Amino acid sequence: PPAIMWFRRDLRLSDHPALLAAADAGEVLPLFVLDDRLLKPAGEPRRRFLYDCLRALDHDLGGRLHIAHGDPVDIVPKIAGKIGAGSVHVSADTAPYGRERDERVQKALGDIDFVRIGSPYAVTPGRVRKQDGEPYRVFTPFRRAWLDHGWRKPAKSGVDSARWISLKGLKIPAAKSDYPAGEQAALEVWQDFRDGPLADYDTGRDRPDRDGTSHLSAYLRWGCVHPRTLLADLKPGNETFRSELAWREFYADVLWHQPNTARENYDRKFDRFKHDTGKAAQQRFQAWCEGKTGYPVVDAGMRQLLAENWMHNRVRMIVASFLVKDLHVPWWWGARHFMRHLIDGDLASNQHNWQWVAGCGTDAAPYFRIFNPITQGEKFDPNGDYVRKYVPELRGVQGKTVHKLDKLPEEYPAPVVDHAHERQVSLDRYDAIRTT
Ligand code: FAD
């Protein structure tokens, strides 16, 4: 009988073990289900990027990608029944909703095989464990064990043996992304980075004023490229880049073991932490969202997010720290704003990076190490070029003077808070939960 290849976060044809297994059946229906439970909270930029990824996949499949819309628990068994499928193939989804949905789909499929092969990670979450079987709570030992565990070599390309089945389905929504999408684009982005900035990644990655990172996050998010493909290309000198990929795997592993940490503090002592949520805090939060806090590097980052739906990692840390430790707003307000606007918004990476910054996550930076938004700007945007690029009111300010609050023009917002004062407030609140 024919098989269904149900694509989710694996929108590519090469290095795709689940697709190769489906192709063994001979006839394959390639399927994608537009599921409102995932699409609604995703935000427009991420949806548009998804649609373009689907268009690219459909093109690579010769126009055969079948698009359906609704709850997969109804749709997948219905289509399987219609074509008399013997099996439904997927790459495992390891995030909380996806796991639960897949269990329900499997049940609804009854006798039809539901075959999970691979995942969006080099090592499927849940596999790397301490000798006593417990999950890792700290990154460095996880990374070591993850390397020891290893992963398979990229699967050979070529699904030529499959005969694609077509059914009349829906059209992919027309909205288009500002970014090139799909497998071919992902491989080109990777090759440009691998043959260029990767050599200086150790120093270049921390400089938002330079283009020193890979920009692969959105492609990894949708599986236009698998991390195995990247890892196989790395050389012994590329440890830092390999570690960044390991962070992605670590956070997926943490979320797999504790799905509740998508919403709740990993460190439960922070449940008692005092946040500000009243009217004044809401106004400050709004200023942060709009990039009008009066702190230049924070505002540049928040405006980059709105303009490009992406933000440099160093600046993500600075703006997140500012929200949590200078404005005392709950980390999940910021995480939600990020998820709405980021093209690479990913539950595991986003929520756990936020928790890391807020001090309540795994491996968290010690709470008392509070980023100073001025010195961070001076250090990582030493000539002020990043700030000037995103904050037009500051374009007339020369060099690093853009980081000096008392030298900024009147049309630029006054600081919403005083960093030195708010830093102390944060430390006092931390003391209150540490000692009680
Ligand atoms: P590169 O520096 O080229 O890194 C290569 C890849 O490694 C990235 O594409 C990403 O997949 C992975 N990676 C790098 N740093 C991290 C990290 N700290 N944690 C997990 N994976 C990492 N990343 C997301 O993919 N989605 C998110 O929603 C997300 N939210 C974040 C929120 C906050 C508050 C912070 C501080 C970081 C967040 N990150 C998130 C991690 C990181 O900022 C982005 O992965 C990175 O900036 C993407 O750009 P790049 O592909 O050029 O990264």
- Max CA pair span of the chain: 73
Cα(12) to centroid of ligand 1, in Å? 21
For the Cβ of 335 lying below 6 angstroms from any atom of ligand 1, the answer is no
For the Cβ of 213 lying below 6 angstroms from any atom of ligand 1, the answer is yes
For the Cβ of 338 lying below 6 angstroms from any atom of ligand 1, the answer is yes
| Residues 187/225, Cβ–Cβ less than 8 Å | yes
What residue owns the CA closest to ligand 1's atom 42?
313
Q: Which amino acid is at 387?
A: V
For the Cβ of 354 lying below 6 angstroms from any atom of ligand 1, the answer is yes
Ligand 1 nearest atom to the CA of residue 221, by list position? 25
The secondary structure of 192-259 as a DSSP string is HHHTTGGGGHHHHTT-TTS--S---HHHHHHTSS-HHHHHHH--TT-HHHHHHHHHHHHHHHHHHH-G
Strand partners, 3: 28, 87
Q: Which amino acid is at 347?
A: L
**Which residue matches tokens 């126009």?**
63
Q: Could you give phi then psi for residue 87, rounded to 5 degrees?
A: -155, 155
| Residues 301/318, Cβ–Cβ less than 8 Å | yes
Cα(65) to centroid of ligand 1, in Å? 30
Give the integer Cα–Cα distance in Å for 289 and 280: 14
For the Cβ of 247 lying below 6 angstroms from any atom of ligand 1, the answer is yes
Pocket test for ligand 1, best of 193, 344, 355 (most atoms within 8 A of CB): 344
Give the integer Cα–Cα distance in Å for 289 and 299: 9
What is the per-residue pLDDT for 158? 66
For the Cβ of 220 lying below 6 angstroms from any atom of ligand 1, the answer is yes
Cα(382) to centroid of ligand 1, in Å? 22
Task: Look up residue 196 and give its DSSP letter.
Answer: T
Buried b (16+ CB within 10 A) or exposed e, 100-126: ebbeebbebbeebebebbbbbbbbbbe
Cα(217) to centroid of ligand 1, in Å? 6
Instruction: Tell me the CATH number for domain 121-154+183-257.
Output: 1.25.40.80
Strand partners, 87: 3, 113
Q: What's the topology of domain 268-435?
A: DNA Cyclobutane Dipyrimidine Photolyase, subunit A; domain 3 (1.10.579)
Distances (CA, A) of 204 to 173, 229, 241, 243, 256: 38, 22, 11, 15, 32
Cα–chain center distance at 342: 8
Pocket test for ligand 1, best of 228, 241, 247, 248 (most atoms within 8 A of CB): 248
User: What tokens appear for 16 in the block?
Assistant: 């795709």
CA Rg value for the chain: 23
CATH 3.40.50.620 positions along the chain are: 3-119
Ligand 1 nearest atom to the CA of residue 201, by list position? 2
Strand partners, 164: 28
User: What tokens appear for 24 in the block?
Assistant: 């063994």
Pocket test for ligand 1, best of 203, 215, 310, 313 (most atoms within 8 A of CB): 313
**How do the pLDDT tens digits run along the chain, 436 residues long?**
999 999 999 999 999 999 999 998 889 999 999 999 999 989 999 999 999 999 999 999 999 999 999 999 999 999 999 999 999 999 999 999 999 999 999 999 999 999 999 999 999 999 999 999 999 999 999 999 999 999 998 877 667 767 899 899 999 999 999 999 999 999 999 999 999 999 999 999 999 999 999 999 999 999 999 999 999 999 999 999 999 999 999 999 999 999 999 999 999 999 999 999 999 999 999 999 999 999 999 999 999 999 999 999 999 999 999 999 999 999 999 999 999 999 999 999 999 999 999 999 997 667 778 999 999 999 999 999 999 999 999 999 999 999 999 999 999 999 999 999 999 999 999 999 987 5
* Segment (H or E) for 309: none
For the Cβ of 217 lying below 6 angstroms from any atom of ligand 1, the answer is yes
Give the integer Cα–Cα distance in Å for 401 and 409: 11
What is the per-residue pLDDT for 413? 98
| Residues 97/215, Cβ–Cβ less than 8 Å | no
CATH 1.25.40.80 positions along the chain are: 121-154+183-257
Indicate the pairing of strand 66-69 with strand 87-90: unpaired
For the Cβ of 48 lying below 6 angstroms from any atom of ligand 1, the answer is no
CATH 1.10.579.10 positions along the chain are: 268-435
Cα(10) to centroid of ligand 1, in Å? 18
Q: Which amino acid is at 119?
A: S
291 contacts: CB under 8 Å, gap ≥ 6? 298, 299, 300, 301, 302, 303, 305, 306, 390, 391
* Segment (H or E) for 32: strand 27-34
Q: Could you give phi then psi for residue 3, rounded to 5 degrees?
A: -120, 160
What residue owns the CA closest to ligand 1's atom 14?
244
| Residues 416/284, Cβ–Cβ less than 8 Å | yes
Cα(323) to centroid of ligand 1, in Å? 18
Give the integer Cα–Cα distance in Å for 221 and 239: 22
Give the integer Cα–Cα distance in Å for 370 and 365: 9
Pocket test for ligand 1, best of 146, 217, 225, 371 (most atoms within 8 A of CB): 217
What is the per-residue pLDDT for 427? 95
What is the interface pTM, i.e. ipTM, of the complex? 0.99
What residue owns the CA closest to ligand 1's atom 48?
217
Closest CA to 208 of 398, 381, 403, 382: 381
Residue 366's CB: how many other CB atoms inside 10 A?
A: 8
**Which residue matches tokens 């996806």?**
98
Cα dihedral sign, 364-335-382-308? positive
Q: What's the topology of domain 3-119?
A: Rossmann fold (3.40.50)
| Residues 291/299, Cβ–Cβ less than 8 Å | yes
What is the per-residue pLDDT for 285? 98
For the Cβ of 248 lying below 6 angstroms from any atom of ligand 1, the answer is yes
For the Cβ of 179 lying below 6 angstroms from any atom of ligand 1, the answer is no
Cα(305) to centroid of ligand 1, in Å? 14
What is the CA angle 381-246-339, rounded to 5?
65
User: What tokens appear for 20 in the block?
Assistant: 């190769």
